[in-house]
Amino acid sequence: MAAEIRLFPCLSDNFGYLIHDPVTKATASIDAPEAGPIIKALQREGWTLTDILVTHHHMDHVGGIAELKTKYNCRVVAPHDKAAAIPLVDERVKEGATVKVGNLSARVLETPGHTLDHISYVFDEDRALFCADTLFSIGCGRVFEGTYPMMWESLLKLRALPNDMRVYCGHEYTASNVKFALGIEPNNPALKARAEEVAKLRAENQPTIPTLIRDEKEANTFLRADVPAVAAAVGLAGKSPAEVFGELRERKNKA
């Protein structure tokens, strides 16, 4: 039986996620922005939290861990970097590790840049990628702790995943990302189509997530820093993709 995934809002613009194994009844929260909405989602589904899979140490991703750990005595899985302030960690994981949630299996990818400890969880059989603040729909996270080449390599790692992989990211930023991307690639047909879709979804107060890796490859300007037309659009024709990516991210920071 396939994994069951539930998406719900947390804080001001975070996504909360539960992934549930219907066979063993194991349930993981991907990060823990705040406890209240996660507890409500669990109660609504009749599920019990067995695991929290942490992507990185920022407070809007770990703020609910202590309350959830007290209530459910769940396992907390987190990046291997012990310097990062993540509370109550039971298990540290790094690139290539496998994390089990009941019978469900997640592969760990190290995706640093936004933070140095950032990891993503890939449920290959269920075609689900939980990438938090590395990759957004039509965007990517700010580079706070890493470098632009580091973040570009992390994005390439995610871009290489199968086209039908569903992308579950950390925030509802798609509308603002679309606005920025259209300023770089105004004639990109995939981007224009996504812009229409996003406008409709947000008008109906619906989430723009999940998206697909295939669609992000076609429309997400940050994943297209190695496309000559994108380099030319930011005045960096012939420069390295990492340099183009850096310029894109700098412009988005100021947008």
Percent of the chain scoring above 70 in pLDDT: 100
Q: Is the pLDDT of residue 45 over 80?
A: yes
Residue 126's pLDDT band, with cuts at 50, 70 and 90, is very high
pTM of the model: 0.97
| Tens of pLDDT, residues 91-116 | 999 999 999 999 999 999 999 999 99
Question: Is 20 assigned a catalytic role?
Answer: no
Computed over every residue of the chain, the mean pLDDT equals 97
How high is the pLDDT of residue 114?
98
How high is the pLDDT of residue 25?
98
Note whether 35 and 14 are within 8 A (CB).
Answer: no
What is the rounded CA–CA span in Å between residue 96 and residue 255?
36
Of 20, 31, 57, 61, the catalytic one is 61
How high is the pLDDT of residue 66?
97
How high is the pLDDT of residue 229?
96
Q: Is 125 helix (H, G, I), strand (E, B) or coil?
A: coil
User: Quick one: CA dihedral 137, 53, 126, 143, positive or negative?
Assistant: positive
Of 20, 31, 51, 58, the catalytic one is 58
Question: Is 58 assigned a catalytic role?
Answer: yes
Residue 81's pLDDT band, with cuts at 50, 70 and 90, is confident
Q: HSE of 24 in the Cβ direction (CA atoms, 13 Å)?
A: 16
| Tens of pLDDT, residues 201-236 | 999 999 999 999 999 999 999 999 999 999 999 999
Of 114, 117, 118, 215, the catalytic one is 114
Q: Is the pLDDT of residue 50 over 80?
A: yes
Of 21, 81, 117, 133, the catalytic one is 133
Strand ranges for 124-253 from DSSP E: 128-132, 135-136, 139-140, 166-169, 211-212
Structure tokens at 59: 């407070």
What is the rounded CA–CA span in Å between residue 32 and residue 26?
17
Question: Is 133 assigned a catalytic role?
Answer: yes
How high is the pLDDT of residue 83?
78
Q: Is 244 helix (H, G, I), strand (E, B) or coil?
A: helix
Helix and strand numbers (H, E) in the chain are: 9, 14
Range 59-84 average pLDDT: 95
Question: Is 57 assigned a catalytic role?
Answer: no
Question: Is 117 assigned a catalytic role?
Answer: no
